[in-house]
């Protein structure tokens, strides 16, 4: 009976871990902590050891996890890129040292490094030039993301003169600083896009973007931690990293070579506190056997090297009283529950509020007013509630019911299928949504009207501004009569409003605040349709023919322009004199491709994708982002995405090479 229970548990654990692997490596949306994941994995390994008859090569215990994307070319790792075994206590670390000593039976030095919380990357250099960048993938094959990696300024593309081998691999961790992460999320919030949970998720999402131009807009960084090759400068891992720094790689100078467990523990304890002063996240320390010869003797398991271990810090937590839950309404109407806490000191700051994310998370925690809750800041910029101390719960406590109506305007909330958040649909009458849209409209990247948030609030409270068009109706007499305004500040505001009429069409389109239509999408829509009139008339199919416009964005655009209030807003803004058309459309060099639509996929020998797209547009053709029945040609390069090839064959669309395309232009 016990055997059957354990066998059933093995199957259950495999299913659970497969799901968490998918969430972590593919979706970059983990729902459990690293410590909990490691506990489940260890339980599975132990049960499989006791039941060898249940062996399965597809078990999560036999693989590293997979973050591959079929839109990228696949490449094999010359040296397996395995994950590290994790340990959370000094006792477990001592066990690692003991196992190493039992095998080596000689003096062993260790290299201690920080464990960066980012995305692993392996770079190949040949004759001092970057030739390939590969994600970890499943440890044996990964995605070739060389074009994206070239946009990261801290990664050298060509090395200066040095004593580096003719060919070698160097591995690092791609990260985002706290400041860069904050700016990215601010921009996503302005665009009505879902926020990244933490810097690691943001870095992972960025590396997998299909357009390297978009990657370049995000300030990624890279810290290097390992060298692989046939003719490395030294048998010492530590010395090889020192050499790599001299070749131009960003190798941190806080790595330390240690000779004893005491020195290793000192390093661990120092960084457990000092990590709070770093501008980026780390989640532990990595301890490696320093000698490459000794590393080869120790070897690897199917999952991890035996010569290295990660000492993981527990996420910083504090326990405090949940005094109340409030609800915030954003510009897009998204309602976010916020825990109001008894102030508690955590990771260098006093925390009074923490995110509860959404109704599902609240139900999962079974959180109640008066509970003593566990607040965590590890890997997060904004603190979050991760648990409840049930031993302190009052018997009279009751579950919190998520609100059913907007806390600002009283409108019944809605929850779209497949989404975790509740929304207030009253976008034209809900005060925080109205003010949020006004603030977005005047923002620097939109209309760039010089008015502070307090000014918007004042204009709204006085009933002077309810829609963006109202800015262009303001008079000097109205403004100068407001508190804190004098003649000079009133004239400056009116001058800024007048200057905004010169702002280009794509920025006006962005300023409208259409959900999912950010800066980049606005530029693509403006270039593709040329005017607001053409955009408003476009149906779903015509919208998805525009570059990088998918069905979700297209539906959002159609929904926006279908509302009479938005149609009136566009008319009012037109009458105010705003730019609603591209000023100088590019005249085609020829009409050889007139009426023809192209989808480009793969890597090309003579031109970049951007150059090919430009040639198509210059000769009267149209670029599409996905293969549909309206596609005339699939321009196929090497290692193109299999999904597009399959769809083209299914729809009997002509597939042409780069050379065949260029002949069409002769």
CA distances, 155 to each of 146, 148, 245, 399, 639 (Å): 11, 11, 12, 51, 24
Residues in the chain where the model's pLDDT stays below 50: 25-26, 63-70, 379, 585
Residues 54 and 78 in one domain: no
Place of tokens 């991890």: 304
Residue-level length of the chain: 666
* CA–CA separation, 38 and 84 (whole Å): 11
Does any domain span residue 589?
A: no
> Among 382, 408, 403, 384, which residue's Cα sits nearest to residue 329?
408
Residue 421: inside a domain? no
Are residues 565 and 615 located together in one domain of the fold? Answer: no
What residues form DSSP beta bridges with 317?
Answer: 376
pLDDT in tens, 256-271: 999 999 999 999 999 9
257 plus 199 within the same structural domain: yes
Q: How far is CA 307 from CA 41, 290, 334, in A?
A: 20, 9, 48
Q: Are residues 40 and 119 in the same domain?
A: no
* CATH number for position 452: 1.10.150.20
Do the strands 622-624 and 597-601 form a parallel or antiparallel pair, or are they unpaired? parallel
Active-site entry in 5, 15, 115, 583: 115
> Please, are residues 613 and 621 in contact by the beta-carbon 8 Å criterion?
no
Query: Residue 627 domain-assigned?
Result: yes
Residues 362 and 233 in one domain: no
- List all residues 6 or more positions away from 259 whose beta carbon is below 8 Å from its beta carbon: 109, 110
Cα-atom radius of gyration of the chain, to the nearest Å?
A: 28
| Res 347: pLDDT | 66
Which of 502, 522, 546 corresponds to the end of one domain?
A: 502
Q: What residues contact residue 641 under an 8 Å CB cut-off, 6+ apart? A: 70, 71, 72, 601, 602
Q: Give the CATH number, domain containing residue 115.
A: 3.30.470.30
pLDDT, position 21 = 64
The total of structural domains in the chain comes to: 6
CATH code of 386's domain? 2.40.50.140
Q: What is the DSSP string of 569-629?
A: HHHHHHHHT---B-SSPPPPS-STTTT-EEEEESB-SSS-HHHHHHHHHHTT-EEESS--T
Short-list 412, 468, 410, 414, CA closest to 437: 468
- Own/partner pairs, 186-189, CB within 8 angstroms, 24+ separation: 187/518, 187/519, 188/518, 189/330, 189/331
Is 324 contained in some domain?
Answer: yes
Which residues are paired to 119 by β-bridges?
Answer: 174
383, 245: one domain: no
Q: Is 208 a catalytic residue?
A: no
48 and 168 co-located in one domain = no
State the pLDDT at residue 172.
95
CA distances 482 to 281, 332, 457, Å, are 46, 29, 12
299-331 in b/e burial notation, b at 16+ Cβ within 10 A?
eeeebbbbbbbbbbbebbebebebeebebebbb
CA dihedral sign of residues 439, 443, 445, 449 = positive
In this structure, the answer to whether residues 295 and 344 fall within a common structural domain is no
- State both tokens at 11: 């199957």
Please report how the helices 178-190 and 199-207 are oriented relative to each other, as an axis angle in degrees rounded to 10: 70
Instruction: State the pLDDT at residue 88.
Output: 84
Same structural domain for residues 54 and 193? no
- Domain co-membership, 230 together with 281: yes
**DSSP collapsed to 3 states, 358-370:** CHHHHHHHCCCCC
* Domain match, 466 and 551 both: no
Q: Residue 7 and residue 548: Cα distance in Å, rounded?
A: 47
Residue 216 confidence (pLDDT): 75
In a domain, 106, yes or no: yes
Residues 212 and 306 placed together within one structural domain of the fold? yes
DSSP letters of 204-262? Answer: HHHHT-S-HHHHHTS--EEEEEEEE-SS-S-SBHHHHHHHHHHTT----TT-EEESSHH
Q: What are phi and psi of 556, to 5 degrees?
A: -65, -40
Within a domain: 412: no
Contact 424, 433 (CB under 8 A): yes
CATH number of the domain encompassing residue 39: 1.10.287.610
Asked which of 312, 333, 360 is the last residue of a domain, the reply is 312
Q: Residue 606 is part of a domain; what is its CATH number?
A: 3.40.50.10190
Domain span at residue 18 reads: 2-62
Is residue 426 included in any domain, yes or no? no
Is the separation of the CB atoms in 111 and 46 below 8 Å? no
416 falls within a domain: no
d(CA 253, CA 267): 13
* Confidence (pLDDT) at 301: 81
**Hunting for tokens 């070698």 — which residue is that?**
168
Question: What is the DSSP secondary structure assignment for residue 508, as one 8-state letter?
Answer: H
**CA distances, 8 to each of 16, 36, 42, 240 (Å):** 12, 20, 16, 48
| CA proximity to 116, closest of 154, 146, 147, 145 | 154
Taking alpha carbons only, the member of 272, 325, 246 closest to residue 112 is 272
How many CA within 13 A on the CB side of residue 257? 11
SS3 annotation, 73-96 = CEEECCCCCCCCEEECCHHHHHHH
From 16, 34, 62, the end of a domain falls on: 62
């Amino acid at each position: 009976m016990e055997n059957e229970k354990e066998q059933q548990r093995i199957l259950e654990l495999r299913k659970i871990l497969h799901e968490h692997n998918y969430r972590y490596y593919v979706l970059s949306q983990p729902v459990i902590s690293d410590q909990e994941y490691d506990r489940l994995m260890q339980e599975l390994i132990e049960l499989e050891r006791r039941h060898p008859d249940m062996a399965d090569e597809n078990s999560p215990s036999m693989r590293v996890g997979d973050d591959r994307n079929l839109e990228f070319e696949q490449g094999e790792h010359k040296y397996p890129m395995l994950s590290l075994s994790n340990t959370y206590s000094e006792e477990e670390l001592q066990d690692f040292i003991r196992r190493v000593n039992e095998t080596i039976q000689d003096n062993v030095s260790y290299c201690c490094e920080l464990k960066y919380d980012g995305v692993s990357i392996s770079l190949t250099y040949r004759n001092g030039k970057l030739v390939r960048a590969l994600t970890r993938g499943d440890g044996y094959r990964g995605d070739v993301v060389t074009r994206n990696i070239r946009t990261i300024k801290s990664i050298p593309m060509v090395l200066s003169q040095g004593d580096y081998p003719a060919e070698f691999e160097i591995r690092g961790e791609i990260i985002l600083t706290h400041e860069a992460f904050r700016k990215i999320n601010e921009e996503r919030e302005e665009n009505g896009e879902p926020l990244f949970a933490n810097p690691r998720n943001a870095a992972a999402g960025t590396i997998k973007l299909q357009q390297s131009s978009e990657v370049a807009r995000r300030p990624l960084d890279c810290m290097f931690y390992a060298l692989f090759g046939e003719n490395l400068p030294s048998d010492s891992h530590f010395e090889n990293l020192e050499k790599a720094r001299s070749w131009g790689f960003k190798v941190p100078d806080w790595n330390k070579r240690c000779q004893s467990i005491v020195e290793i523990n000192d390093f661990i304890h120092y960084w457990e506190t000092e990590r709070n002063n770093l501008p980026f996240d780390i989640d532990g320390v990595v301890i490696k056997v320093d000698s490459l010869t000794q590393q080869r003797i120790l070897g690897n398991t199917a999952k991890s090297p035996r010569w290295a271990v990660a000492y993981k810090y527990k996420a910083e937590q504090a326990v405090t009283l949940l005094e109340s839950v409030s609800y915030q309404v954003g510009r897009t109407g998204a309602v976010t529950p916020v825990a109001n806490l008894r102030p508690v000191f955590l990771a260098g700051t006093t925390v009074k509020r923490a995110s509860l994310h959404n109704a599902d998370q609240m139900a999962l925690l079974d959180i109640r007013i008066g509970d003593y809750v566990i607040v965590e800041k590890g890997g997060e910029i904004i603190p979050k509630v991760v648990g409840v101390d049930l031993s302190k719960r009052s018997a009279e406590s009751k579950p919190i019911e998520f609100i059913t109506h907007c806390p600002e305007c009283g409108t019944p909330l809605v929850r779209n299928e497949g989404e975790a958040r509740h929304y207030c649909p009253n976008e034209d009458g809900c005060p925080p949504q109205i003010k949020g849209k006004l603030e977005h409209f005047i923002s620097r990247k939109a209309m760039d009207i010089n008015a502070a948030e307090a000014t918007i609030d004042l204009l709204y409270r006085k009933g002077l501004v309810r829609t963006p068009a109202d800015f262009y109706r303001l008079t000097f007499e109205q403004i100068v009569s407001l508190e804190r305004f004098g003649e000079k500040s009133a004239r400056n505001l009116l001058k800024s409003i007048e200057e905004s009429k010169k702002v280009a069409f794509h920025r006006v389109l962005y300023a409208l605040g259409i959900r999912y239509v950010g800066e980049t999408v606005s530029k693509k829509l403006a270039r593709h349709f040329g005017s607001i009139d053409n955009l408003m008339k476009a149906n779903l199919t015509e919208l998805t023919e525009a570059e990088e416009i998918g069905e979700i964005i297209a539906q959002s655009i159609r929904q926006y322009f279908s509302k009479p209030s938005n149609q009136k807003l566009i008319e009012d803004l037109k009458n105010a004199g705003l730019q609603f058309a591209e000023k100088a459309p590019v005249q085609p060099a020829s009409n050889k491709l007139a009426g023809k639509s192209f989808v480009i996929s793969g890597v090309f020998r003579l031109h970049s994708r951007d150059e090919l797209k430009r040639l198509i547009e210059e000769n009267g053709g149209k670029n599409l982002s996905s293969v549909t029945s309206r596609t005339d040609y699939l321009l196929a390069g090497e290692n193109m995405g299999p999904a597009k090839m399959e769809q083209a064959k299914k729809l009997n669309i002509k597939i042409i090479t780069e050379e065949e395309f260029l002949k069409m232009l002769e």
